[in-house]
């Protein structure tokens, strides 16, 4: 769905409408300037940190603010290449790319004027606590934008204003977390099943059940 909204390809059936207008009728460059998208398979550029946060360019102050909001202000200098093969280059871990650089890129895009944020399973590699921290940061930094999140993790899903449960390509339930739990339908069943699987080890090595936030 997120890639359809970005118009990386168009739907083979039906249509996506924005304010009643078929998305295919909107000028593509203008539409994409309104979007900040983070996918599970985000792009890593062997370029300086500055260009990874703002590939199309942005003032340094905006980039630095986005890095701070993403918790990445101490990650590297703006001119530091994000690849070991270059002089003074650094090699970031997969978690740093996912938790800091991709997040900073989305925040910088919103700071540059985008008003729609698309998140398609962007933190699937992270544990529940790491994902919850990222979304707290992201939602705080993009509160003026519309955020569309695609996720199977209820610790994140329950933070949004409106949830749409999709099954076999059909929307079968919509509502807030509280409304869907009270309804006792498919959402409640999936939520309770996933919550029962959140088991972690504490500092003493003992198992602790971790309820979704």
Strands 35-39 and 116-120: parallel
What is the rounded distance in angstroms from the CA atom of residue 53 to the CA atom of residue 58? Answer: 9
What is the rounded distance in angstroms from the CA atom of residue 184 to the CA atom of residue 191? Answer: 10
pLDDT tens per residue, the chain (213 residues)? 778 899 988 988 888 999 999 999 999 999 999 999 888 777 788 999 999 999 989 999 999 999 998 888 888 899 999 988 899 999 888 767 766 888 899 899 999 999 999 888 776 666 667 677 777 778 888 888 998 988 887 877 887 889 999 988 789 999 999 999 999 999 999 888 877 665 544 444 444 444 444
The DSSP element (H or E) to which 62 belongs, if any, is helix 60-69
Residues 108, 110, 115, CA angle at the centre, nearest 5°? Answer: 170
CB burial of 83-97 (b: ≥16 within 10 Å; e: otherwise) equals: eeeeeeeeebeeebb
Residues 136, 142, 147, CA angle at the centre, nearest 5°? Answer: 90
What is the rounded distance in angstroms from the CA atom of residue 23 to the CA atom of residue 18? Answer: 6
What is the rounded distance in angstroms from the CA atom of residue 213 to the CA atom of residue 210? Answer: 9
Can you give the residue ranges of every domain in the chain? 153-213
Lookup: tokens for 17: 């409408």
Give the pLDDT confidence score for residue 24 in this predicted structure.
94
Residue with tokens 């979704």: 212
């Amino acid at each position: 769905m997120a890639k359809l909204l970005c118009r990386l390809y168009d739907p083979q059936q039906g249509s996506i409408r924005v304010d009643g207008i078929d998305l295919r009728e909107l000028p593509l460059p203008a539409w994409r300037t309104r979007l900040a998208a983070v996918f599970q398979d985000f792009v890593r550029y062997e370029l300086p940190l500055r260009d990874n946060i703002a590939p199309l360019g942005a003032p340094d102050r905006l980039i630095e603010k986005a890095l701070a909001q993403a918790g990445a202000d101490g990650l590297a200098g703006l001119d530091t290449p994000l690849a070991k093969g270059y002089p003074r280059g650094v090699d970031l871990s997969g978690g740093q790319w996912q938790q800091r650089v991709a997040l900073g890129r989305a925040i910088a895009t919103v700071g540059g004027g985008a008003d729609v944020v698309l998140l398609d399973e962007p933190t699937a590699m992270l544990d529940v606590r790491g994902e919850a921290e990222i979304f707290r940061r992201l939602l705080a930094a993009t509160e003026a934008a519309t955020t569309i999140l695609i996720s199977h993790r209820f610790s994140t899903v329950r933070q949004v204003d409106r949830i749409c449960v999709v099954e076999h390509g059909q929307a079968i339930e919509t509502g807030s977390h509280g409304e869907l739990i009270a309804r006792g339908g498919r959402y409640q069943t999936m939520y309770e099943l996933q919550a029962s699987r959140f088991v972690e080890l504490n500092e003493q090595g003992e198992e602790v059940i971790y309820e979704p936030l």
